[in-house]
Structures are given as structure tokens and as C-alpha cells.
Chains A and B, each alone.
Chain A
Amino acid sequence: MVVRRDGSSNFGNQKYGTFPSISAGWTFSNEPFFKNLKNTISLAKLRLGYGTTGSDRIPPYSYSPIVIANVDYILGEQPNLISGMTQPGYVDPNLKWETNISKNIGLDFKFKGGKAGLEIDLYEQNKKDMLLAITTPISAGSTPVNGETYDRFLTNIGDLRNRGVEVSAHYNHKFGPVGLKFSGNFTKNKNTVVSLSREGEIIFDGYPNIIRVDQNEPVAVLEAGLPVGAFKVYQTDGTIKTDQELEIYQLLDPNAQKGDLRYVDTDGNGVLNNKDKVYKGSYQPDFEIGFNVDANYKNFDFSVQFYGVSGNTIYNGQKQYAYSTKRHRDLVNSWSDENPTSNIPTPRSGIEHPNVNTATDYFLEDGSFLRLRNIILGYSLQNNLLDKIGIENFRVYINAQNAITWTNYSGFDPEVGSSNPFNGGLDRGNYPVTATYSAGVSITF
């Protein structure tokens, strides 16, 4: 058991935080009552943990407002540069420690001296008073300065919860000359925004297109009750196909034409604005699985590894960009008088046109996939001759990494990710993972 009390100069009026931790383990297979089972279950252990840690990982002085120079103007009959100074943005003077509270309960079993094993973990991690830099409302008037982020302020945005279960198991067996090992793991994790510090707050961020950031609208949010980094965008309902549909839709957007995307006025108030944006999935999958098989037969060895996720959503930023520059192959089949049933919006000049606005569900896709991560076939030569010339092991193998991916995602690679929760599901033209095919010889002397 440990209790820490930490102080940090990164905070202003709330410099200190107290962080207790406790953990315990109990190998109950060693207890007398377990004696009869000991032959089948060689190890049984219960783990319990409760830990709190604090985070002050923010730039120093973030709590203290500053004044900047070089905000100058010209005055005088003989023009003179007069120096001006201003407070460029806001800070939160009440910044305090972010606290990570993790609770877990785990069970470890080993069967028959390690022939099989099972580990189960249930965990809950609460991030209390999470520290994050969020955009100041534009109407607050922060000064944009190249290379600075005065238009954002760091604050303890609220509480996030990460809850999940992890199961991993393995099993070894020998079928005559064939030795087999199966192992797998299953993870189900749910990351939720429990509450935000300010009621009704919605924090937008996550720009899917890195080339034209200025024309982007952010697509991900932190909002109480939704998964972290949930997509919150305008819902679309195909294209406007008939004059009659157009006439109705023009009440919402008088500039609309046939072939334009039809945004849904979800609150039905006759105006399209941020209030109409709806939750459309998140980067978090329903579950993740991994599955490995290792086999050996005589001098051959073989192993495969699979990895898959299911139920996550990806924002296809490359598709959005290609649409906005009218360079996407889909656009061949876009709506036109000759192709009046198409739901692909007609390309329009104007990178700010609603058809290519980033903040719609049009560019969201199911990100589920199953990937053959690794497959190896090897053969080891064992020969007296080799021993004589001092070679202990001589193995030839062929190996393929990321050879096959089963997915419906239309971008290059469904395996997107980011440490920034807002960018977790954004495919911003990320460099895809490479598939590697190799053959080799390994010699041990």
C-alpha cells in the first residue's frame, strides 16, 4: 500500500494531489482447502488492485495568463510603428491534477502444470478531471499567432471511464508427432465520457483532412454519455433527386441543387445547424480478438497469428479529400440527369460546398476487419554433419506479415489509430501498414 501526495508547479492554486494505491494477490491454490484440486489446477490466483496516479503532464505555466508583444500598429504623419501588447487568449487558473483511478480484479489459472492457462481481467479506469486543451469559442477573441495555440486553453474537462474485460487463454497439446499450441485473447472495452465539468458542454475536435484544415469542420466530440471521440456529424439521406424533393429541401438550403447531399434536419426546426448533428459511432470497437496457432511436426514449424476488431467506425478522410477535389473514382457514377437514382453527390466547384463538408456521415464507414498478421513456415535441419562443422541450428523459413485483410473498409488500411482521442477513428491519409513477404535462413553456430 502506498499513499503519495504530489505537488506540481504546473498548477496554480491547486498544486497538490493525494494518490493512494493498494494491490493484493492471493494464490488460493496454495491453501489447504485446494489440495484435492491441485492435480488438475496447478495454480489459481486472485489479483485485486486499486491504484490512483496523478498526471501533471501539461506545459508549464498553463494556469497563468500572459501578455504578448508585437501586436503593433502604425500611427503618425511620419508613419511610426507603435508597439502594442495584449492578452492573446484564456487560461483556466483552477487547473488541477488529473487523477487516474484504476480498479481491477483478475483471476489466473494454470492447468496441469502449464499445459493450459486462462487469465481473466475485469478492469475499470476512471480518468477524473482529465486535462485537455480545448478550443476557446471564437467569440472570445483569442489572437491567432503562428506556432502558438492561444486559441486553446487547458482545462480539467471532466471524467472519463474506461471499462472492460480481457480474457486470454492458451492450450498445448500433442497429437502424436504433431505439437500444437493454441492461444487467443479477447478484449471488450468501453470508453465513455461520464460527465464534463460544464453542463451541456460538447467539445468538438478532430479534423479529418490535414491538407485543407481551414475548410474542415471537426467531426469528433467529447459529450457526456457518448463514447470518447464519438463521431457527431450531420446525418445525410442520399441525394436530392427530383424537382419536388428539391423544392422541399430548398426551404433548408436555398442554394441546393439536384444531386446535392440531403442533410437531415434532425430536430425539425427548419434550420440546419450544429444542433442537428447526431452521434454516428466511434472508433471504439465492440470487441477485439487475437488468435494464434503454433504447430510443429518433425523438423517443420508453423505459426499463424490473426487479429481482428469489430464494430468500430472510421472516417475516410482520404475519400473526403478526393471528393472535395473532384478526383474520386465514385464520382463517375454520381447523380446527374442521366443517372437520376445515384446517391453519390454531384461534384460541385467549391471546396466549402455541403457535398464535401467534412462534418457529415457520408464519409463514415464500418471499420471492422480481420487480419492475418503473421504466418510462418519453417524447417530446421538436424544433421550430424552440421554438428561437426559447428552449426547448432540451421533453419529455413518463409514468412508473410499482414498478407490478408478481410474488411469492407474502402480506404487503404482499416488499422487507424492515434493517441489523441479525437483522431482515433480518423483516416487522414495515414501511411498504411506494409505487407511483408520474406524467406530466410537462420544459422546458429
Chain B
Amino acid sequence: MKRNKLLILLITTLTVLCSCSYDQLNIENPNNLPLDNFWSSEEDIQKGLIATYAALQLDGLFGGASSTQHPVRSDTGRPNNWNVNAQGLSRLAFNENSDIVKKRWRDCYIGVFRANQVLANLYTIDLSEQTRTQIEAEARFLRGFFYYSLYRGYNGGSVIIHTTPPQSSEDFYKSPSPANEVFNLIKSDLEFAYTNLPQQYESSQDLGRATWGAATAMLGKLHINARNYDLAKMKFKEILDSNLYSLTANIGDNFDEEHEMNSESIFEVAFSTEFSQGTSGSAADGPLGSEATSRARTLAPDEGGGYRTIMPSYYMTMLFKKDTMDITNPINSNRTGVANYSIRASMSIAIADDDNTTIYQIPSDSLRYNNNEASYLKKFQNWTLLRESDQSISGINERVIRLADVMLLYAECLLQTGGAYTEALDLINEIRYRAGVVLLEPADYDNSSTMEHIMWTERPLELMFEGHDTRWEDLTRWDKVQEQYDRLALKSYVLVSKNLYEFDPAIHNEDKKLIEFESAATSYQSAIHNYFPIPSTEQNSNPGLFN
């Protein structure tokens, strides 16, 4: 009897087993496109490449968080009275748990992963040789670009390298590679792009893709920041000699939405409010994503409907105030106000007594300038409108590299490699002419004072709040962070009816004295503050990090 029972049990079990065929357990995912079916055509590869460009828009790269936080670490920005993130960064009190430290790392690696997907699948599908090379060059430009930001930003340049998409968890529990390996990877990626990208695209539909000029400029930046001035000079010279680019007549064309991708632009990150406005201001992917940046609202003053999370530093404000307009320059023929501020000042920042311009359709001195605020940002702001969008979206492209930047970097290379300072001055004066300010007289300058002028006057005036952490790159390349903080911490200012002046103990009341960068000057240590640390999020998710 017992044996019979066992037999019945066995038969039942077997019956159940037989009743279910293997095929019924193989179900296609109806909700999402499985990866198995992807990467099979040129269209797929092109989509993967677009996704790689899309990473540029993310918060930690060129979206809101990056552009609205990074400038306070350098001498160009100061935080408002209440944003503790920005205040922490301006005191150099950032750590591995700081918002921007985590976001920039994350978003650079998102870009790397997307580029690697394209590169890994490029040779498995049928493409013409020309198409393949073009896609590879764009993807490698972008990967080099993301790694450049990691290399310049983190851990002394020693960061984790992925050149293929990790297939298993073993592949992604990696420790950082030495900085020179990261450098070599960036160099080889950018050099491939340099060799293979076109100077211009035939179709106007392709405007905005990476070009030969973008790759060349990035190579120049890579070299100059490694203090390879000779190599950097060659690259920058190629751009100047190519005659592909020219300075725009109006400097403001580089900061607004109307004149994007203009003659001066070498590489831009595109934003728009026309498509996928999303649920929040920051550009994001996915069905509720957005193609816009939250920068403009974050940095606009109250009257523009914003939060002025950071604003130009007092140092920066004084620089603009002292950069006097050249009334003989025809650019200034319409500038009939009393204030002598340049058109570059009017297009970059709001100063109360700048009577040649407005901001959010009201006079500059109608803004409040409370909480010891001396000026507000206008560069990359929609300040010609009544106010910024309540949705926190802005469509102004971030100009990552433009000709004026390259001209000044080339001038620096000339000075560093024993070139004639007069040639450098010519380049500076070209930029100053367009800015409508008084030109520099060669007789007043020599090699070293021209370099000083580039460092402490021309680059901040022309490029403040631009690029991706450009000013910090500059200061650390020159190894001048401490010197500059010390100098600025000794300066004092005063606000008299909304206008900033240098403090004079003979006239001004001691308790109105304003000082900035005091704590940064005390805490700065190049070994600790030149780079962000590897963020806590990576430390907590990557057990292989310290192996």
C-alpha cells in the first residue's frame, strides 16, 4: 500500500512537470524594449549617440546644479544669505557628501556609460566606413569630454575608468586608475575626434554636434591644464588659423537664446523650453523629462522671480565697475547714460547705477540689493523678459567653449612659451574692443604684467560663470588660489545706496564694512581643495573602490 502511495505521488509530480513546457516560461517583456532587439541598425546607434549628447544636459554637467554652484568656489561668485550648499562651497567646506560633489560625478559617468554603449556596438552592425568613423569620433569626443570633467574635478585626476559597458557586477566594482592613465585616455579619445570630426556639418540639421573645432579646443585645454604650453599653443593656433570662427559684434550674443550657435561658438550644450518641459526645471531623461535648464530662475533676483542662489562676488562687481567704457568706440554710440560701465558689464551683471540697461524690464536700480547684495547675474539669464518662468525652465544654451576663451588661452600660451607679449595684447585688445572698453597700451605692459592682466582682469571679466568650472581650472592651473583668496580677503567694500565701493575708513562706518573669501583664505589647502573627493555615494555603492 505504502509503495502505491509513493508511486501515485511520483506520477502526479511528473504529470505536473510535463504539463508545463519551457516555452511558456519565456515571456517577452511587453512594457519595455528589451536590449536584445536593440543595437541592430544605424538608427539604433544614432539614438544611442543622441542619448550620449543628452547626458551633457544633466544637472551635474551643464544643467542647473553645476552652473549655479561651481562659480562660488572660485573668486567670481558669492552665495546668497541662506543657501547653505552654496555657502559651504564658497567656504571650501565641501565634502564627499556635498550635493554638487555627488551630482557631477554621477552625471559624468552617465555620459561615459552611454558613450561606451555606442562604442561597444559600433562594430557589430552593418555601417558604411564613413558613418562608423563619424559616430565613433562623436562618441569618443563626448567620452573624452566627460572624462575631462572627472579628471579636472576629482581626486587629483585619479578616477575610475570604464571603456566598455560593464557586463557583470565584477566589472563595475573598480578602483580608480592613476591620473596619467586617465589623461592618456582623454587624449586618445580627443585625438581620434580631432582627426575624424568635420570642421562643419553639411546639413544645418546637424548644427550642435561636436566638430573638429570642439575637439581641438578640448585638446588645447587638456594640454594647457597639464601645463604643456607648447602643445596647447599648437592646438589653439590651429583654431585661430582655421578662420572658422569670429567674435560676434555684440558680446551679449554669447549669453542669450536668440543668438545660439553663432560665429564665436565652438561647443555648446543645447537647452530648450519648446520640447518636453517636464515636471521640474532641471533637464532630465525619461517620459517626464525636460530639455530645459533651471539655471536662470535659480540665479535671477527676486524681481525676476528667482532665488539668486549665487551672484557675482564683490571682487567681480568691482572689476566690472572699473572696466571703463571707451566712448570713442562706435559700439558705445548709443550708450548715453551717466554710468561709464561697458556693454560687457551690462550684458553680464546688473549693477544698480548702470543706467544704460534694464533687467526684467525695470531699471537696474529698481532691484532691491538687500542682504548686502551688490550685483546680480544677467549672463545666461532671460533678463529681457518680465520674469523667469515659474516652471524654472530656461532654454538658453550653455556656451562651453567660445572663441574669446580660446584667444585668451592662446595669449597665455604665447606668454608662457616666450612669445611676444604684444601679440598677446593684440588678442586681448580684440576682445576688449568688442567689449567696448579702453584698449591696453603696449607701452604700459610687459610679459609678466600682461599675464597678470589675463589672470586678474580679462579672463574673469570675459568668462565669469561660463564653461564648466572654467575659473577654478584657471586658478588651479596657475596655482594662484591661495594668493587670490589672500588678496581678496584683505579687501573690504561698502554698499552705499545699492552701489558697491571700496571701503575707506575715513568716510565709511566700520560696521558697514563688507569682506568676502575670509574663511576660504584660511581653510584652503591645495592638496585637499583643488579637487573634489570621490563622493560618498560611490564609496557606499562600490566595495571595490579602495582595493
Contacts and interface: CB of A to CB of B under 8 A. Distances in A.
Interface of A: 3-5, 7-9, 15, 60-61, 64-88, 90, 92, 135-148, 153, 155, 198, 200-204, 214-215, 217-218, 253-255, 273-275, 349-354, 357, 359
A75 B270 contact: yes
Interface residues of B, number: 100
Interface string B301-345: 000000000000000000000000000000000000000000000
A352 B85 contact: yes
Interface of B: 13, 17, 20, 22, 24-27, 29, 31-36, 38, 44, 47-54, 56-57, 84-85, 87-88, 91-99, 102, 105-106, 109-114, 117, 159-160, 162, 165-166, 168-170, 172-174, 204-209, 261, 270-272, 274-276, 279, 284-289, 291, 523, 525, 528-529, 534-547
A255 B113 contact: no
A67 B38 contact: yes
A138 to B, nearest CB: 5
Contact of B207 (A7, A75, A201, A351): A75
Contact of A73 (B36, B38, B54): B54
B165 A87 contact: yes
A274 B523 contact: no
A368 to B, nearest CB: 29
Given A61-B29, A61-B32, A84 B541 contact: no
Contact of A143 (B17, B47, B110): B110
B32 A72 contact: no
A74 B35 contact: no
B97 A9 contact: no
A308 to B, nearest CB: 34
A79 B47 CA distance: 17
Contact of B33 (A66, A198, A359): A66
Contact of A140 (B29, B162, B276, B535): B162
Given A73-B270, A141-B112, A136 B284 contact: no
A142 B47 CA distance: 17
Nearest to B98: A352
A321 to B, nearest CB: 15
Nearest to A65: B35
A67 B117 CA distance: 11
Residue picked from A88, A203, A350, A359, most chain B C-beta under 10 Å: A350
A240 to B, nearest CB: 15
Given A61-B27, A77-B207, A141-B109, 14 more contacts: A7-B20, A60-B29, A66-B33, A67-B33, A68-B286, A73-B57, A75-B209, A77-B205, A79-B274, A85-B51, A139-B159, A200-B547, A255-B92, A274-B536
B173 A198 contact: yes
Nearest to A354: B95
Given A72-B276, A85-B51, A349-B84, A255 B523 contact: yes
B204 to A, nearest CB: 4
A138 B29 contact: no
Nearest to A7: B25
Given A254-B523, A357-B97, A87 B117 contact: yes
